[in-house]
């Protein structure tokens, strides 16, 4: 078993973990990132609004981002309460139009930037055990080939998304606002679907809602959001069949078939927050700190922002100014509470359907 020492050990190489690694390694800290998956992993979450630009600029990533060729997101085609379709244009929003991310390209940029800054990234490596011993953490990392590494670090970061592997091991209290899950698949279109290339489609139905996002001229992601205890599609074909019962979706789903290179997935999508975003020698970032309903299209921007502000606060901590960790938490919690209010308003607009899914979301 090898033994390694780092200033900071980060669990999770998603948007939050890689961005924090970039910020910290750039300032000369020795940083390791561990992820249970491989670099080829594909993450859902393509739509971002214009408010991602200021945070990308702070990270010096905006220029490269604009050259990567992400689609413009001009707005949403929405049918939200069974009352006909309407369009919500983003041009009139305070930050202007947004983007439909090519997530593979976006995630790869973050990975390469973090690596170039000097962070060490270990794939197929999951957190197995951790213990605070005096001034440092002892971590045991389990690799997919069955071997273990022993790692010590002065500080540990939970950036493992809703899995919250580090903070759950520490017993940090988490509050879930709902039990939303997403049934998702990627689709290949044989005909170019330029007609909806600049829009994402949102459609409510009796037991949840649909999200159809075209992220290249021949590919889209389709997700159905519902609750864990309700009836759910269990394969890409079942998902497509269900989607095709909705006229607003059918027009975009002709001549398409499931992308066989990426499996159908059922993933958690609930809104939630930790009671505390930091503690003795640990910090939570991105979805691990607070997770947003995908209806908000805010998860990726939040992950970037929380990594930037959280890592900046950690640099202050290493400079004997620990109070900035509290400032980071206040900033994140205030934004999350605003979002919860907005989420309740959006869901309570739907009164057309009477199922448990919508009843649970009625504001008393
Ligand atoms: C279906 C769906 C659609 C979405 N759509 C949008 C959207 O349109 N716009 C938007 O902005 N956001 C969207 N989101 C949210 C967005 O994807 C997330 O908010 C964002 O990816 C959070 O990034 P993160 O780095 O915090 O977590 P994640 O991206 O979840 O990364 C966590 C990482 O931790 C790793 N990990 C997990 N367990 C372990 C372990 N035991 N050991 C080591 N590593 C581990 C995982 O492999 C993963 O790489 C969507 C989410 C879902 C589920």
Domains and CATH numbers, the chain: 2-71+101-177+271-346 (3.50.50.60), 180-268 (3.30.9.100)
Q: What integer pLDDT is reported at residue 194 of this predicted model?
A: 55
**How many angstroms is it from 3 CA to the middle of ligand 1?**
29
Give the span between the Cα atoms of 308 and 286, in whole angstroms: 10
* Cα–Cα distance, 184 to 233 (Å, whole number): 9
Q: Distance (Å, rounded) from C-alpha 177 to C-alpha 33?
A: 29
Closest C-alpha residue for ligand 1 atom 16: 299
Provide ipTM, 2 decimals: 0.99
Nearest-atom number in ligand 1 for the CA of 286 is 26
pLDDT (tens digit per residue) in 230-277: 989 999 999 999 999 887 788 888 888 899 888 899 999 999 999 999
Question: 247 C-alpha vs ligand 1 centroid, how far in Å?
Answer: 30
36: left (phi over 0), alpha (psi -120 to 50) or beta: alpha
Expressed in angstroms and rounded, the spacing between residue 352 Cα and the centre of ligand 1 is 31
Extract the tokens encoding 172. 């940090």
Residue 295, number of CB atoms within 10 A of its CB: 18
H/E stretch holding 313: helix 299-318
pLDDT band at 46 (very low <50, low <70, confident <90, very high): very high
Ligand 1 nearest atom to the CA of residue 297, by list position: 9
What 36-43 contacts at long range (C-beta under 8 Å, 24+ apart), as own/partner pairs, is: 36/124, 36/125, 36/126, 37/13, 37/123, 37/124, 38/123, 38/124, 39/108, 39/111, 39/123, 41/107, 42/103, 42/104, 42/186, 42/262, 43/14, 43/15, 43/103, 43/107
Measure 312 CA to ligand 1 centroid, in angstroms.
21
| Confidence at 2, pLDDT banded by 50, 70, 90 | low
65/61 Cα distance (integer angstroms): 6
Q: How confident is the model at residue 1 (pLDDT cuts 50, 70, 90)?
A: very low
**pLDDT value for 250:** 87
What average pLDDT score do residues 329-341 get?
Answer: 97
Ligand 1 center–CA 321 separation, angstroms? 30
Amino acid 84: pLDDT: 78
Taking the CB of residue 276, how many other CB atoms lie within 10 A of it?
16
Residue whose tokens read 């009625």? 362
What is the C-alpha to C-alpha distance for residues 50 and 74, in angstroms, rounded to an integer?
A: 10
Nearest residue by C-alpha to atom 37 in ligand 1: 160
Residue closest via CA to ligand 1's atom 29 equals 14
For ligand 1, the distance from its centroid to the CA atom of residue 46, given in whole angstroms, is 11
Ligand 1 pocket, residues with Cβ under 6 angstroms: 11-17, 34-37, 41, 43-48, 126-127, 159-161, 163, 165, 182, 184, 223, 267, 269, 286-288, 294, 297-301, 303
Best mutation site among 10, 12, 34 for ligand 1, i.e. most ligand atoms within 8 A of its Cβ?
12
Dist. CA 161 → ligand 1 center (Å): 5
306 CA closest ligand 1 atom index: 26
pLDDT of residue 71: 87
Which string of DSSP letters, residue by residue, matches 192-224? --GGGTTEEEEEEETTEEEEEEEEETTEEEEEE
pLDDT tens, position by position, 63-98: 999 998 888 898 998 989 877 788 888 877 778 889
């Amino acid at each position: 078993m090898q033994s390694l020492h780092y200033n900071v050990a980060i669990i999770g190489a998603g948007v939050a973990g890689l961005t924090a690694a970039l910020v910290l390694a750039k300032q000369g800290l020795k940083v390791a990132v561990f992820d249970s998956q491989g670099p080829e992993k594909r993450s859902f979450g393509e739509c971002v609004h214009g408010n991602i630009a200021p945070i990308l600029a702070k990270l010096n990533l905006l220029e490269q981002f604009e050259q990567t060729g992400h689609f413009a997101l001009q707005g949403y085609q929405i049918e939200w309460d069974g009352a006909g379709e309407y369009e919500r244009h983003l041009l009139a929003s305070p930050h202007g139009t947004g983007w439909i991310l090519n997530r593979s390209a976006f995630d790869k940029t973050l990975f390469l930037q973090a690596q170039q800054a000097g962070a060490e990234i270990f794939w197929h490596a999951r957190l197995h055990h951790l213990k605070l011993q005096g001034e440092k953490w002892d971590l045991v990392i389990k690799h997919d080939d069955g071997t273990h590494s022993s790692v010590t670090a002065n500080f540990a970061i939970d950036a493992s998304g809703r899995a919250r592997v580090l903070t759950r091991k520490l017993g940090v209290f988490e509050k879930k606002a709902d039990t939303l899950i997403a049934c998702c698949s990627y689709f290949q279109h044989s005909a170019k679907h330029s007609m909806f290339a600049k829009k994402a489609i949102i459609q409510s139905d009796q037991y949840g809602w649909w999200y159809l996002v075209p992220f290249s001229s021949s590919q889209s992601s389709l997700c159905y959001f519902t609750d864990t205890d309700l009836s759910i599609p269990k394969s890409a074909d079942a998902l497509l069949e269900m989607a095709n019962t909705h006229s607003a979706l059918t027009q975009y789903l002709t001549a398409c078939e499931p992308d066989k290179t990426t499996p159908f997935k059922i993933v958690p999508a609930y809104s939630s927050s930790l009671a505390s975003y930091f503690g003795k020698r640990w910090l939570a970032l991105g979805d691990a700190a607070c997770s947003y309903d995908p209806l908000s299209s805010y998860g990726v921007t939040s992950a970037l922002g929380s990594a930037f502000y959280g890592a900046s606060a950690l640099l202050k901590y290493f400079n004997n100014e620990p109070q900035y960790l509290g400032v980071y938490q206040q900033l994140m919690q205030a934004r999350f509470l605003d979002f919860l209010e907005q989420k309740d308003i959006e869901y309570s607009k739907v009164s057309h359907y009477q199922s448990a899914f919508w009843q649970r979301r009625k504001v008393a």
